[in-house]
Amino acid sequence: MTEELMLNGCLRNNATSQEALYSHFSPKMLGICYRFAKNREDAEDMLQEGFIKVFTQIHQYRNEGALEGWIRRIVVHTCINILKKNKKFSDSVDITNANSIRIREEMIPSIIQAKQVVECIRSLPLGYKTVLNLYAIEGYSHKEIALMLDIEESTSRSQYTRAKAMLEEILIRKKIIQKPKKKIKFYGAVSPS
């Protein structure tokens, strides 16, 4: 069934079309929910609630942009609302020297380890994980994240910086990436021989 047929059927509350739309998009959307959730059960609950909103708001889709993108935005906002409702977003861990650590794409050796990296992201405190997902993966600005989460923009930036630092520490500890080598700077006329 094409997206157009699924959409038209969903607009008429056709159960077969709704099932087809769900089957088509739910695997990707579950992956999104899984990044925000603590476990698979929570992710499935988020997915279920997200698709309920999709089906009740489908008449608001205006064919401006991809249907998948529209569904994705609803699912992301559903995840955020669930986290806020359960007050789970307030998890925070302080890291010293968080600003001095940078994760670079070239530090991740291969795509084979992508699953391990996702698991490491999921192990971050919920606040860090949420901001990291929204900024680095979903592409929201810190201003948009601040509005979504009812936090200051500077808090979003700080949580993102700390999330990257903590993620790098986890990736190094699990030997997924290597600790960056420090560059030695020499000052003055004497240089090592």
Amino acid 183: pLDDT: 58
The predicted pLDDT at position 174 comes to 84
Residues of the chain with CATH 1.10.1740.10: 3-85
| CATH code for the domain defined by 3-85 | 1.10.1740.10
Rounded to whole angstroms, the Cα distance separating 18 from 8 reads 10
The CATH number corresponding to 98-173 among 3.20.20.120, 3.40.720.10, 1.10.10.10, 3.40.228.10 equals 1.10.10.10
Residue 91: the pLDDT is: 44
> For residue range 94-143, what is the model confidence (pLDDT) as tens digits?
333 333 334 444 444 455 566 777 788 888 998 899 999 999 888 999 99
Cα–Cα distance, 57 to 55 (Å, whole number)? 6
Residues of the chain with pLDDT under 50: 90-109, 189-193
Q: Where in the chain is the domain with CATH 1.10.10.10?
A: 98-173
Q: What is the pLDDT of residue 44?
A: 94
